[in-house]
Structure formats: C-alpha cells, structure tokens
Amino acid sequence: METFSPCWLCASPSPPCPECLLGCCNQHIPQHRSLLGCHTITVDEVKGVGRVALAARDLKAGEVILRDNPCVWGPSLKCRPVCVECLAPWTGPETCKECGFPTCKPSQCRADKAGSRQHHIECGTLARIPTNQFLPGQPNPALSLVLIVRYQQLRPSKMCIGYSPGSYD
C-alpha cells in the first residue's frame, strides 16, 4: 500500500518522489525535479505567517537553492556604461545607430552569441530623447532608462507568474 504525504508545493495528498521521498503530486514533479536533482525547498503553511518556503533537507554552505530568470534586466542608475544588449562593460566607441546608446562590437557581444538580443524593445523610445554623451568608465544616468522602458513594455503574456489584469493599475 502506497503512503501519501502532502505535495511539497500544493499540499494535496501525493506519493513520495522516488529520489528524495518528499511528497510530490504529478502536476508539480516537473518543478521539483531538474537535471541537477530534486528541489531543496518545500512550501508550507505557518500559522500567523502564511505560506513560506522551507528547506526540504539539510543544505550545504554555498548550495544554490533557487534559480530564476528575471522578468526584465538592464543597467542601473549609477553604473558605468555597459552594452545595452549583454551588460558587458563598454569601452567605446560602438553605439546603436538608432538611439546612440552603448553596444559591443557585434562579433563580441554575448547577447549575439546567446541569441538573446533585447535592445529592440527600448531602442525606438530611447531614440526620442536628447542625444547623450557616453564616456567609457563614466556613469551616465540615462542608461537606467533602458531598464525602465523594458519594464514598461512588458505585456501580460510576458509577465511573471501570478499576473492578473488590474493588479498593476
């Protein structure tokens, strides 16, 4: 007779994971297991606090417990100039032909190599602001506009999990 315990995520009665014996329903087994093994966290309900993430087992120092992709990414307000595609430090003189913001040489850009170009999202908007002078090694607050415009351009279909219409009004 198979024993059931609460699923690590939704708490529904579930069979144990064959690897770690943590309760895991069929719906959440893909989130629990990866090429690196079983997840190190479980979700539980704590009275007076609500749902919390807890360690599912003893953790080693420096062990990665959660990896996620950002909804948006870009340069910060006070950073030195970086390529708007891959965020590598910019040494000049390459800039985008449309908006004038810093870019790597196409043959050296990590975004080109990874197939993850992002700059098209904000280029048209940035092209409408007054020309900025970018100097290697010198912070330029205009770079922070890249992140802001990327965030503003998010569409509901691209939003992070949990998006519901009206929740950001």
The residue among 149 and 69 whose pLDDT is bigger is: 149
Over 80: is that where the pLDDT of 138 sits?
A: yes
Report the first-to-last Cα separation within the chain, whole angstroms: 51
Write the burial class of residue 114 (CB in 10 Å: 0-12 exposed, 13-18 middle, 19+ buried): exposed
What pLDDT, in 10s, does the model give residues 40-53? 888 888 899 998 88
The residue among 68 and 146 whose pLDDT is bigger is: 146
For residue 115, what pLDDT is reported?
Answer: 64
For residue 101, what pLDDT is reported?
Answer: 93
Average pLDDT estimate for 80-105: 91
Return the SS3 of 16.
Answer: strand
Q: Provide the whole-model pTM.
A: 0.58
How far apart are alpha carbons 134 and 142 in whole angstroms?
9
For residue 167, what pLDDT is reported?
Answer: 42
For tokens 């506009």, the residue is: 145
Quick one: residue 81, left, alpha or beta (phi over 0 = left, psi -120 to 50 = alpha)?
A: beta
Q: Residue 163's pLDDT band (boundaries 50, 70, 90)?
A: very low
Averaged confidence pLDDT in the chain: 82
